[in-house]
């Protein structure tokens, strides 16, 4: 028994010292993005998120990107495929933005509802398989049914998340 315990401890120590590739964004951040740049945007990954929230969030995010593009003379191209399906030449030569809603919960009762959402935006610099920057944005909304509806609150929540992610992206693009 003692030999087995020692072997397990040695194995755990050996695994802990192994170097696994770092999937977290590097601390350096993103280099400022100037005009004449094409940035590709991959549709957000979502699972079990109401269609209204999914579509409103991504459409609003794209609208905000277009506003940023006009101001910064940057072109945003929306792709129809996921990150893994994007051609190597696109990943090698251009910035790439991916996003996800990785948690969405509606907890409703007879008189009120609580909605919680967690979203993430990743920005990949040309040639990188690891995001240069990553933004997380959690948001919670609580409302009483006498004063608002689920449809209204979903819409407001999706717009808030889209606006926040776009604002964080803009800040990263203009940081010096």
**CA-to-CA distance for 77 and 169, rounded, in angstroms?**
15
Q: Are 76 and 66 in contact (CB under 8 A)?
A: yes
Q: Dump pLDDT digits (tens) for 17-69.
A: 333 334 454 455 667 676 678 898 999 999 899 999 999 999 999 999 999 88
Bridge-based pairing of strands 37-41 and 45-46 is unpaired
Cβ neighbours of residue 106 closer than 8 Å, sequence gap 6 or more: 50, 113, 114, 115, 150
**CA-to-CA distance for 73 and 108, rounded, in angstroms?**
44
Q: Dump pLDDT digits (tens) for 103-126.
A: 999 999 999 999 999 999 999 999
Q: Which domains does the chain have, with CATH numbers?
A: 32-174 (3.30.160.180)
Q: Are 24 and 127 in contact (CB under 8 A)?
A: no
């Amino acid at each position: 028994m003692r030999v087995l315990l020692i072997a397990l401890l040695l194995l755990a120590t050996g695994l802990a010292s192994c170097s696994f590739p770092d999937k977290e964004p590097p601390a350096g951040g993103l280099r400022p993005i100037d005009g004449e740049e094409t940035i590709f945007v991959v549709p957000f990954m979502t699972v079990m998120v109401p269609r209204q929230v999914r579509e409103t969030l991504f459409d609003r995010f794209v609208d905000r990107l277009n506003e940023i593009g006009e101001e910064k003379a940057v072109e945003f191209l929306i792709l129809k495929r996921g990150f893994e399906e994007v051609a190597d030449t696109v990943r090698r030569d251009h910035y790439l933005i991916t996003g996800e809603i990785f948690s969405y919960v509606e907890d409703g009762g007879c008189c009120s509802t609580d909605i919680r959402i967690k979203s993430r935006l990743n920005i990949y610099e040309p040639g990188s398989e690891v995001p240069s920057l990553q933004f997380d944005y959690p948001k919670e909304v609580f409302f009483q049914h006498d004063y608002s509806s689920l449809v209204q609150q979903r819409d407001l929540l999706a717009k808030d998340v889209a606006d926040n992610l776009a604002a964080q992206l803009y800040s990263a693009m203009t940081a010096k």
